Structure 1
Amino acid sequence: MLGPDVAVLSLAQVSEALGLSVNKVRQLLRDGQLLAVRRDGELRVPADCIAGNAPVKGLSGLLTVLADAGFSRTEMLRWLYSEDESLPGTTPINALRTNHGTEVKRRAQAMAF
């Protein structure tokens, strides 16, 4: 799914970064506002999904579009980290982090049809 080179944060680390309880972080995961991967039996959030003290702008909307297109959580993570030279930032997650969310969302919507 995600390579070992992708930095991930424990739920406790995400909780600290966002200033929320771990239960609230779990709620963000359930609500599709964040994604997590299981590593060593623990849920981990890719560090790229956090910007400052909030989830990356546009991430939750993008996750909704991908879910509506039938993507599983694993497929969403794989797509977010797939190389795409035509995107600013070369991957959808990097493009989101550099305020190119509209372009990323447009690509996700196009895949749904």
Structure 2
Amino acid sequence: MSEFPTAPDVLGPEVEVLPLPDVADRLGVPFTRVHQMLRDGLLLALRRNGVAVVPAEFLTDDTIVKGLPGTVTVLQDGGFSHEEIMRWMFTEDDSLPGTPVTALRENRGREVRRRAQAMAF
């Protein structure tokens, strides 16, 4: 099985993260499916203390936050690295207001994608 991409830990220690087995449990999928989601850009992971983890805010109770995969795709297609995307998702934006990941969680994906498209192209 090929390796999945991860970003370095660019988030503050206050950002809650979940190890990949916990992500699989929460989503109700096999561990290997989480690896595939990371390879496909449906989720992003970072390495914290050498362990691959996913920010808890990328998940609701049992699904990936609506709009996250599309936003990640827009930014990747625009040339952004996983590190840059991760950093952007958790950076305050006064025009939203809040962070892009918070806006996605609040079902304001259209606003987030507009900003992502403007940055990417």
Q: TM-score, normalised by structure 2?
A: 0.90
**Aligned residues: CA RMSD:** 0.7
Superposed displacement of residue 43, structure 1:
0.4
Indicate the SS of the match to 1:35.
coil
* 2:17 equivalent to 1:37: no
Q: Which residue of 1 aligns with 2:36?
A: 27
* 2:55 equivalent to 1:46: yes
Q: TM-score, normalised by structure 1?
A: 0.97
Hey, which bits of structure 1, 4+ residues long, moved more than 6 A? none
Superposed displacement of residue 21, structure 1:
0.8
Alpha-carbon distance in structure 2 between the residues aligned to 1:97 and 1:112: 21
Q: Which residue of 1 aligns with 2:114?
A: 106
Superposed displacement of residue 40, structure 1:
1.4
- Alignment gaps of 5+ in structure 2: 1-9
Give the length in aligned residue pairs.
112
* 2:104 equivalent to 1:96: yes
Alpha-carbon distance in structure 2 between the residues aligned to 1:105 and 1:4: 26
The share of aligned pairs that are identical, in percent, is: 55
Aligned partner of 2:108: which letter?
A: H
Alpha-carbon distance in structure 1 between the residues aligned to 2:17 and 2:114: 27
* 2:22 equivalent to 1:13: yes
